[in-house]
Amino acid sequence: MRRLEYSSKGRLVPDDITVELWREAINAAVEAHKFKPDIDTLVLDGIPRNLGQAKIMDDMIDVKKLFHLACPDRETLFYRLKKRALKENRLDDANEQVIQRRLDIYEKESRPVLSYYSQELVTVVDATQPPAKVLLDILKSVNDGVYEPAAV
């Protein structure tokens, strides 16, 4: 409910509430035996989104790697973001002005997170590749270059 109090009014959810909601979700996954912190690797996507969240999370997580999905080709970036918005039926997010505003926010708020952590932790992934190749590059890096598909 706390998140809705802000987002329903078009306001950003404060960092402390965002991180607390994330922590509650992780704790629920642990309790449900879906995540075992002692043996599982946790890959975060979209958090921490800014320096405030990164600082709050310092005592909660031990960051081993940070992935920067680099897409210097603006045309490709706009195309992919628009395609994703349409696929997820978020028509307002497919608008080019909305995409530009999100990219501006990324540059101002999220990009500084890359510099917050040691550069030895940052792995740059070429996001202009097909999505499956981007995922494969991430999986290889998470496992220090050894990708072993799960047995089925």
Average pLDDT on 15-44 reads 92
User: Which parts of the chain fold into alpha helices (H)?
Assistant: 2-7, 15-31, 51-57, 74-87, 96-105, 111-116, 131-142
Residue 3, pLDDT > 60, answer yes
Q: What is the predicted pLDDT for the residue at 101?
A: 87
Q: What is the predicted pLDDT for the residue at 26?
A: 94
Model confidence pLDDT, tens digit, residues 65-93: 899 999 988 898 888 889 888 898 888 77
Average pLDDT value for the chain = 86
Confidence bin at 22 (pLDDT 50/70/90): very high
Of the chain, the percentage scoring pLDDT greater than 70 comes to: 88
Inter-residue contact 126 to 134 (CB < 8 Å)? yes
Q: What is the predicted pLDDT for the residue at 12?
A: 73
Model confidence pLDDT, tens digit, residues 92-149: 778 888 888 888 989 999 999 999 999 999 999 999 999 899 999 998 888 775 555 5
Cα(133)–Cα(152) distance, integer angstroms: 21
Of the chain, the percentage scoring pLDDT greater than 90 comes to: 47
Please state the domain extents for the chain. Answer: 63-142
Q: What is the predicted pLDDT for the residue at 152?
A: 43
Identify the three-state secondary structure at position 73: coil
